[in-house]
């Protein structure tokens, strides 16, 4: 192993607290215990010594740092980079009670993804952050959500029409979208960064183990958590759910398609699903929320959904939407000369030079946006297929820890 030379006081220049946070996030994002990590490092360090690193009580030496860098496939610069921003706590949405190890994995994965983007972006001296309206829209009553959602859609230039690709819309409005691999008990999460008490960047995250209709609802739900500021008396999850329904299924457009109907068969609901690209369950809830169907009729349909086995697997599933935002950020950093190609590839964990035959990342960034996104999307789908093939071969880690270690 090649040992990078470190100045004696190099680590002293970095907040030990930040390094401790990153080390912990890296480990928890892999769902590893400290014992797992020590074993993967080849027992070159004791558990007690490593625990002190994560607690910010000690500084790793050069040999240990390089062993950690090699293990995670990152770079020493990333590990030692001292950010000038603060990350928020991660808000996550789960369907039922989940193990703490799963919560930590999702929370850490969300933070790390945003850290990687900001590491690449902040290497540019001219980067001033994204104009993200974090918790800008106050909600004092649930009834206010409808008008606030219409206002957001207008500000984003969406009008009243269904959204064809939600991830593209979110990213076009300067919010990152990421995927995480986790059991289906956790659906989504959101996180943001601030600098001098002002928003710097934000991300919404969804499980990659979902159909597109559920994925889109998760992203919209987490978007609600980012943009809205509910009164303390309101249930934040109900607020985010109501926002997601209104954002994805505009009232005016839904009523136009429904007309005077008060009862719906499977064919009717599947047609609405195809139009709005959300689940039948979300459509029924939205119909009830707008008083287009009765509570009794809604409950009856919910029982049908359970009987048909549609709670997890509905007919006519919508394909998941893909994103290339991490690659886009990496390519921009490469083009600006702020980050070498090899380092960028390590940070995002993907090869950039293989995206286009006989083409470098710099060549790619010069292409028209539509063509660039097409190439990135194709590469992303290829990576996803390879990942799923590899995942099927891996043994899942079944450890259940009551503590973070």
- Burial (CB < 10 A; 0-12, 13-18, 19+), residue 248, is buried
- Classify residue 246 as exposed, middle or buried by CB count within 10 Å of its CB (0-12, 13-18, 19+): buried
Phi, psi dihedrals of residue 295, rounded to the nearest 5° = -60, -40
Question: Strand 228-230 and strand 137-139: pairing?
Answer: parallel
- Give the count of alpha carbons within 13 A of 326, CB side only: 24
- Report H helices in 228-360: 236-248, 251-258, 266-276, 280-289, 295-308, 325-335, 341-348
Instruction: Say how far apart CA 11 and CA 80 lie, in whole Å.
Output: 7
356-378 residue pLDDT tens: 444 455 555 555 555 556 555 65
The span from the CA of 344 to the CA of 121, in Å, is 11
The pLDDT tens digits for 226-261 are: 999 999 999 999 999 999 999 999 999 999 999 999
**From the CA atom positions of the chain, what is the Rg in Å?**
23
Question: What is the CA 179 to chain-centroid distance, rounded?
Answer: 5
The Cβ of residue 276 has, within 10 Å, a number of other Cβ atoms equal to: 23
Domain boundaries, the chain: 1-82, 137-308, 325-391
Residue range 1-82 forms a domain whose CATH class is: mainly alpha
Q: Which two tokens stand for residue 240?
A: 């985010």
The two three-digit tokens of residue 63, written as one number:
């040999």
Residue 267: CB partners within 8 Å, gap ≥ 6? none
Instruction: Look at residue 244 in the predicted model and tell me its pLDDT.
Output: 98
Q: Are the C-beta atoms of residues 350 and 327 closer than 8 Å to each other?
A: yes
What pLDDT is attached to residue 371? 54
Q: What is the pLDDT along the chain (405 residues), one digit of tens a residue?
A: 333 444 445 445 456 888 999 999 999 999 999 999 999 999 999 999 999 999 988 889 899 999 999 999 999 999 988 888 999 988 876 656 778 888 888 899 999 999 999 999 999 999 999 989 999 999 999 999 999 999 999 999 999 999 999 999 999 999 999 998 866 567 889 999 999 999 999 999 998 888 999 999 999 999 999 999 999 999 999 999 999 999 999 999 999 999 999 999 999 999 999 999 999 999 999 999 999 999 999 999 999 999 999 988 899 999 999 998 999 999 999 999 999 999 999 999 988 864 444 445 555 555 555 555 655 565 555 555 554 554 444 334 333 333 444
Q: Which two tokens stand for residue 171?
A: 């990213």
What pLDDT does residue 351 have?
87
The confidence score (pLDDT) of residue 392 equals 47
pLDDT for residue 93: 66
What confidence score (pLDDT) does residue 390 get?
Answer: 44
């Amino acid at each position: 192993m090649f040992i990078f030379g470190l100045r004696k006081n190099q680590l002293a220049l970095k907040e030990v607290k930040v390094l401790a946070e990153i080390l912990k996030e890296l480990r928890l994002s892999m769902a590893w215990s400290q014992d797992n990590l020590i074993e993967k490092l080849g027992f070159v360090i004791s558990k007690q010594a490593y625990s002190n690193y994560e607690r910010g009580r000690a500084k790793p030496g050069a040999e240990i740092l390089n062993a950690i860098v090699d293990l995670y496939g990152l770079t020493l610069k990333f590990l030692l980079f001292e950010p000038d921003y603060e990350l928020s706590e991660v808000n996550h949405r789960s369907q039922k009670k989940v193990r703490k190890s799963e919560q930590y994995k999702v929370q850490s994965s969300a933070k790390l993804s945003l850290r990687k983007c900001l590491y690449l972006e902040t290497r540019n001296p001219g980067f001033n952050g994204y104009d993200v309206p974090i918790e800008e829209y106050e909600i004092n009553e649930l009834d206010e959500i409808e008008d606030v959602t219409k206002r957001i859609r207008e500000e984003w230039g969406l009008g009243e029409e269904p959204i064809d690709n939600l991830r593209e819309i979110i990213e076009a409005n300067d919010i990152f979208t990421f995927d995480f691999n986790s059991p289906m008990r956790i659906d989504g999460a959101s996180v943001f960064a601030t600098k001098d008490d002002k928003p710097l960047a934000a991300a919404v995250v969804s499980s990659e183990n979902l159909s597109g209709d559920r994925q889109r609802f998760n992203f919209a739900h987490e978007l609600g958590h980012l943009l809205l500021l509910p009164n303390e008396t309101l249930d934040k999850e109900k607020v985010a759910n109501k926002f997601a329904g209104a954002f994805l299924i505009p009232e005016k457009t839904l009523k136009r398609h429904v007309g005077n109907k008060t009862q719906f068969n499977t064919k009717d609901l599947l047609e609405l699903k195809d139009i709005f690209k959300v689940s039948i369950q979300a459509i029924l809830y939205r119909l009830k929320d707008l008083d287009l169907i009765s509570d009794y009729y809604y409950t009856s349909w919910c029982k049908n959904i359970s009987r048909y086995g549609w709670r997890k697997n509905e007919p006519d599933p919508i394909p998941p939407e893909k994103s290339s935002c991490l690659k886009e950020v990496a390519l921009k950093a490469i083009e600006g000369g702020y980050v070498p190609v090899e380092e960028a590839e390590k940070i995002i964990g993907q090869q950039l030079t293989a995206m286009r035959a006989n083409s470098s990342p710099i060549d790619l960034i010069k292409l028209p946006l539509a063509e660039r996104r097409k190439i990135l999307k194709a590469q992303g789908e290829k990576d996803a297929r390879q990942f799923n093939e590899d995942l099927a071969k891996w043994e899942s880690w079944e450890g259940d820890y009551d503590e973070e270690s």
